[in-house]
Amino acid sequence: MERVDLAAARRLVRTWLDEHPSGSFTQMADQLKEHYPAFPDEMAIVLRGMMAAELRHRTSPTARRQP
């Protein structure tokens, strides 16, 4: 997993959230982990963490969105 592009994974999560605003962690992980066929189960955990961070960021009144 040392060669995973985490910035690209964050973009995938952000895009998924934009397209599925009421989607669940499980739905997102199930759909996006397929982008990582070498280690889908491990990436499902990483993606859930990224989704939690992004949701916290989106709901924080003082947060600034990073590109």
| pLDDT (tens digit per residue) in 25-60 | 999 999 999 999 999 999 999 999 999 999 999 988
Rounded distance, CA 8 to CA 41, Å? 18
- For 3-22, what is the mean pLDDT? 95
Q: What is the pLDDT of residue 13?
A: 97
Phi and psi angles of residue 27, each rounded to the nearest 5 degrees, phi first = -60, -45
Contact between 44 and 30 under an 8 Å Cβ cutoff? The reply is yes
More confident call, 1 vs 21:
21
What is the torsional sign of CA 31, 33, 38, 39? negative
Residue 62 in this model has a pLDDT that exceeds 90: no
pTM of the model: 0.82
Residue 67 in this model has a pLDDT that exceeds 80: no
